[in-house]
Structure formats: structure tokens, C-alpha cells
């Protein structure tokens, strides 16, 4: 039998003594308190009956002694709808929304998760609601973390198929899960001021007809349903790819989107290949912004786009693959912030060729008039001839283009070149300097014109080339501006 080294025994004893003194010492002094990473958890605005994302909280013990919580509880029990997990213990109905004997040793911490599914409140406006997560220490001291949110009743629809003529309106938000489909023989009319909130993976598929006519005062909004934040400065509503966007299929014609705002999608608006004898889409006074795919993609279709802001897309802000397109008084700007490998501001071509399959799409006409086409890159205008034997017709008139100078007097008239000779790039009054705010770090953008922009007073006043009102519904002056927004003197930086 081996002898046990006496020094080894002494070492074990010392370790045991040390561990039994500091680490296992718990205090009942009211002076020893817990420290919270935050004393409040805010959920912003949430939809009733819809589970929120998870919020987290750290509970630290920096008091110098161990602290026992005799009880940790939700003050209002289950009535508020908050769901809490404390150090792996769920405070639910089966535990009467509380737990006991939670130990937090000195210099240690525990983790708390909070979620919320609020009850319907039968109000048309968001209602403030709150609860408290209460820590009752052995000393008798109570410490609280406030949990609060604004809960908003919403109309929730799942995999909705509109089979007949329908008017969509609600005095509450409409939250869409799955596909929202307009059948081929149906027309869906959306009333001014309506907002549709699409859940991740949801989108609007139009096989029939969409009439979304808002007003300058009451835009129609298509957006994602997340109302929380990715970071303190960045709401999810400003993050691209939150939902699938609007898709006009081949059978769909004569769609109208006027004073609409479509943002934070994968693809903003896609028009599938159709006959070019009929108008596919009238897009007026509208915004398509911050898309993880295309902003506006039109394939062998006829689209009429006026007074629109088409901005920030991972692929192209506007892509015209054949057919016919009018871009009148538009602001097309490529400052996509989430990936450096972004596409063009404007692409126009007479076909597609992916290396395996070739598609010819005659470009009957692409007119870009009184518009701004710009971005970060030196060249954001991409005209591509896929097949020289296929029609390829375009015109640029009284527009700003950030690309190399092209000599084509027949098709290019009164153009301001921001990249005049590929060396002297105009960044003083061009690119982002056209606009009031381009902040790619915090994803804040304002595409109204700055006083330095060369777009001011440079639009054509020729009949048929000018929109009398701008994207905001304000009348243009006698020396109108390029782009969708008219500059006003009171809009000073």
C-alpha cells in the first residue's frame, strides 16, 4: 500500500479551508446589494399576441459577500404576459411566477432572459404596460428591474389568398405571416395610411392587380414586422432583408403604387416578364429603400416610374432587363451599407446571359429624364448590350450621371457627368454631397437635396418632362430640380 504524502494532505486541507471561507460566506446585511447590467428592460412597441425577441440581463454580485435571494418573482404574476428565465429557472404558471433560494456568490453573476407576449387590449393605439422583476434578498431588501413595453393590437393574417376584389384597410397594423397572394382575377385596393408589417419570409405575390394609392399626407407603407433594435442606434426596420418584398408575376398588369414606401426587404419590387403591349406598373411618388436584393427589377415589362426614390440595394437599385421604362424625376442612389460588393444604381440591358442560359429581352425604350443617378462608386450606371442584334434603345435627358462621359448627342442631352474624366470625380457637389445626409455607419439617410447639389434648377421644363409636384407633394418652382425632391431654401444644413 502506497503512503500518502503528508504535504499533499495539507494542501487539500488548505484549499478546502479557503473555499469554505470566502466563497461559501453569505450575508444578511442590508448594505450588500446586487448590481444589474440595466435597471430597465424596454421592449419598444410590440404587437399583442405576437411573441417578442429575447432581451437579456446580467445580475452581478460585487458586494464582497455571497448573497441569497429568498425569492425572485414577477410582481404581477402572469397577468402582464412577460416571460422570465432566471439562471435557468423559468418563472411560469407551474412555479406561480417565482422561484426561491437563488445564490449569487461574491464576484459571481447570473443571467436573466425576458420575453413578452402581450394580451389584446382592444385599443387602436399602443398601450403602455409594465411589470417588475423583484429580487427579495435574505436581508429583506427588495431590488427591482422594470419591464415595460407599448403593446399595439394588430390584425394578424396568415397565408392570405385574395380571390375577389377586396379593399384592405384597418385602423390597426396588419401583420402578415407567410405569403399574401392576390389571385389572377382579383384586385386588391389598399387605402391611404395603411401599413402592412411582413414577418420574416413573408411577402406580397401579385398575380392579379394591386392598387395602392396613398397620399402625400398618408403614405401606404410596406415594411418588416420587427419593431425592436439590432443595436441601440439601429432599429431592425433599418436593416435590409427583413421580408421578401413585392412580386408582380407574369399574369399581372396595370398595377398602381402611388405615395408608397417599401423598405428593408430582400427584393423591393420585381416585375416578371410580360407582354409589352400593356403597362405592368405605375410607380409614382414612392420610395423603395434598403433592399438585400434588387430595389426595382423589371424583366421584359413596361414600367412607368415617376418622382420615386430608389436607393441602397445589394444588387441594383433599378434594373431594367428589356421591355420599356420611363424614369422621370427620380433619385436613384447606391449607398448600400451592409456589403461592399454592391451592384449599380441603374442597370439597363437587352437580355441576360448567366453563362448557361441566354435570354433576349428587347429594350424598346429606357428613358431617364430629370433624374439623379449616383452613389459611392466611380461608375454606378451600367448599360449592357447582351446581343447586338436585339433592340437596345435608351435616352438620358437633363440628368446627373455618375459614370464616365459618353458622347452620344442623339440619346444623351444636357447630362451632368459626376465622373467627367475618370480621374477628377466630383465629390464636392456630387455623389453623397447631393444629399442632406448619407451616414453609412449608422444607416441614416436623407435624400433631400443639399444647397451644393448641381441638380438644383437643372431639370428640363419641357412639356411631358416634368412632374409639377415632388415626392413630398410640394409644388416645384419655376426653376425645377432634378430628382424626386425639390430643394427649398428653408432646408438649410
Q: Which residues contact 350 (CB under 8 A, 6 or more apart)?
A: 322, 360, 361, 362, 363, 384, 385, 386, 387, 390, 391, 392
Residue-level pLDDT at 463: 86
Integer angstrom CA distances of residue 334 from 31, 256, 365, 412: 58, 25, 23, 22
pLDDT tens column, 190-209: 999 999 999 999 999 999 99
Residue-level pLDDT at 86: 96
Residue-level pLDDT at 232: 84
d(CA 260, CA 47): 23
pLDDT tens column, 228-284: 888 888 999 999 999 999 999 999 999 999 999 999 999 999 999 998 999 999 999
pLDDT tens column, 47-80: 999 999 899 999 999 999 999 999 999 999 989 9
- The better pLDDT of the pair 102, 419 is held by 102
Average pLDDT over residues 440-449: 94
pLDDT tops 90 at residue 23:
no
Give SS3 for 268: coil
Residue-level pLDDT at 11: 56
Q: Would you say 345 and 381 are in contact if contact means Cβ atoms under 8 Å apart?
A: yes
| Whole-number average pLDDT of the chain | 92
Average pLDDT over residues 296-300: 98
Q: Which residues contact 147 (CB under 8 A, 6 or more apart)?
A: 40, 41, 43, 80, 82, 114, 116, 130, 131, 132, 133
- The better pLDDT of the pair 16, 173 is held by 173
Give me the domains of the chain, ranges plus CATH numbers.
Answer: 35-151 (2.60.40.10), 153-449 (2.160.20)
pLDDT tens column, 385-401: 999 999 999 999 999 99
Average pLDDT over residues 341-361: 90
d(CA 395, CA 417): 15
Residue among 358, 296, 285, 354 at smallest CA distance from 325: 296
pLDDT tops 90 at residue 347:
yes
The residues pairing with 157 across neighbouring beta strands, listed in sequence order, are 176
Class of residue 423 by CB neighbours under 10 A (exposed 0-12, middle 13-18, buried 19+): exposed
Q: Tell how many helices (H) and how many strands (E) occur in the chain.
A: 1, 45
pLDDT tops 70 at residue 7:
no
Alpha-carbon Rg of the chain, whole angstroms?
30
Q: How confident is the model at residue 493 (pLDDT cuts 50, 70, 90)?
A: very low
pTM, 2 dp? 0.89
pLDDT tops 90 at residue 491:
no
Percent of all residues in the chain with a pLDDT value above 90, rounded to a whole number: 81
Task: Please give the distance of CA 280 from its chain centroid, rounded to a whole number.
Answer: 26
Q: Which run of H or of E encompasses 263? A: strand 260-263
pLDDT tens column, 402-431: 998 888 888 999 999 997 554 456 666 678
Highest mean pLDDT among 43-52, 167-176, 189-198 belongs to 189-198
Q: Which residues contact 17 (CB under 8 A, 6 or more apart)?
A: none
Residue-level pLDDT at 408: 85
Residue-level pLDDT at 464: 86
Percent of all residues in the chain with a pLDDT value above 70, rounded to a whole number: 92
Q: In which residue are the cell numbers 447570473 written? A: 110
CA angle, 307 then 308 then 310, to 5°: 155
Average pLDDT over residues 459-474: 93
Query: Which DSSP category does 66 fall into?
Result: B
Instruction: Outline where 19-106 has alpha helix (H).
Output: none
A 10 A CB-CB count for 473 gives 12
Residue-level pLDDT at 369: 98
d(CA 441, CA 205): 33
Q: What are phi and psi of 307, to 5 degrees?
A: 55, 45
CA angle, 205 then 208 then 209, to 5°: 95
Amino acid at each position: 500500500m502506497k503512503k500518502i504524502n503528508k504535504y499533499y494532505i495539507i494542501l487539500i486541507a488548505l484549499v478546502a479551508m479557503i473555499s469554505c471561507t470566502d466563497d461559501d460566506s453569505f450575508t444578511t446585511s442590508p448594505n450588500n446589494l446586487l448590481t444589474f447590467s440595466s435597471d430597465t428592460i424596454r421592449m419598444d412597441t410590440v404587437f399583442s399576441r405576437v411573441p417578442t425577441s429575447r432581451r437579456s440581463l446580467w445580475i452581478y454580485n460585487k458586494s464582497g459577500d455571497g448573497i441569497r435571494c429568498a425569492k425572485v418573482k414577477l410582481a404581477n404574476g402572469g397577468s402582464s404576459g412577460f416571460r422570465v428565465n432566471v439562471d435557468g429557472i423559468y418563472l411560469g404558471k407551474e412555479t406561480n411566477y417565482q422561484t426561491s433560494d437563488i445564490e449569487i456568490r461574491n464576484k459571481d453573476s447570473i443571467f436573466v432572459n425576458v420575453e413578452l407576449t402581450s394580451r389584446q387590449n382592444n385599443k387602436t393605439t399602443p398601450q403602455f404596460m409594465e411589470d417588475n422583476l423583484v429580487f427579495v434578498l435574505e436581508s429583506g431588501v427588495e431590488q427591482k428591474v422594470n419591464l415595460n413595453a407599448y403593446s399595439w393590437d394588430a390584425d394578424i393574417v396568415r397565408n392570405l389568398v385574395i380571390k375577389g376584389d377586396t379593399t384592405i384597410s384597418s385602423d390597426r397594423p396588419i401583420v402578415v405571416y407567410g405569403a399574401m397572394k392576390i389571385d389572377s382575377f382579383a384586385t386588391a385596393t389598399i387605402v391611404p395610411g395603411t401599413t402592412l408589417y411582413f414577418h420574416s419570409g413573408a411577402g406580397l405575390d401579385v398575380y392579379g392587380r394591386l392598387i395602392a394609392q396613398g397620399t402625400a399626407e398618408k403614405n401606404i407603407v410596406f415594411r418588416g414586422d420587427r419593431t425592436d433594435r439590432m443595436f441601440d442606434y439601429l432599429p431592425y426596420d433599418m436593416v435590409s432583408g427583413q421580408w421578401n418584398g413585392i412580386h408582380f408575376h407574369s399574369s399581372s398588369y396595370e398595377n398602381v403604387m402611388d405615395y408608397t414606401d417599401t423598405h428593408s426587404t430582400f427584393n423591393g419590387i420585381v416585375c416578371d416578364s410580360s407582354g409589352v403591349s400593356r403597362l405592368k406598373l405605375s410607380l409614382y411618388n414612392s420610395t423603395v429603400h434598403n433592399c438585400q436584393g434588387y430595389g426595382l427589377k423589371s424583366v421584359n415589362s413596361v414600367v412607368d416610374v415617376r418622382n420615386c426614390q430608389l436607393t441602397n440595394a445589394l444588387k441594383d437599385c433599378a434594373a431594367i432587363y428589356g421591355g420599356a421604362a420611363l424614369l422621370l424625376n427620380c433619385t436613384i442612389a447606391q449607398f448600400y451599407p451592409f456589403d461592399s460588393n454592391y451592384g449599380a444604381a441603374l442597370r439597363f440591358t437587352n437580355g441576360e446571359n448567366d453563362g448557361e442560359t441566354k435570354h433576349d429581352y428587347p429594350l424598346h425604350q429606357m428613358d431617364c429624364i430629370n433624374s439623379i443617378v449616383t452613389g459611392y462608386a466611380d461608375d454606378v450606371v451600367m448599360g449592357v448590350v447582351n446581343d447586338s442584334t436585339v433592340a437596345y434603345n435608351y435616352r438620358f435627358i437633363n440628368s446627373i450621371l455618375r459614370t464616365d462621359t459618353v458622347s452620344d448627342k442623339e440619346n444623351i442631352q444636357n447630362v451632368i457627368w459626376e465622373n467627367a474624366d475618370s480621374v477628377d470625380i466630383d465629390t464636392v457637389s456630387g455623389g453623397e454631397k447631393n444629399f442632406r445626409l448619407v451616414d453609412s455607419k449608422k444607416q441614416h439617410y436623407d435624400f433631400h437635396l443639399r444647397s451644393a447639389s448641381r441638380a438644383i434648377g437643372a431639370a428640363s421644363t419641357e412639356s411631358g418632362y416634368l412632374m409639377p409636384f415632388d415626392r413630398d407633394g410640394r409644388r416645384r418652382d419655376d426653376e425645377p430640380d432634378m430628382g424626386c425632391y425639390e430643394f427649398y431654401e428653408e432646408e438649410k444644413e
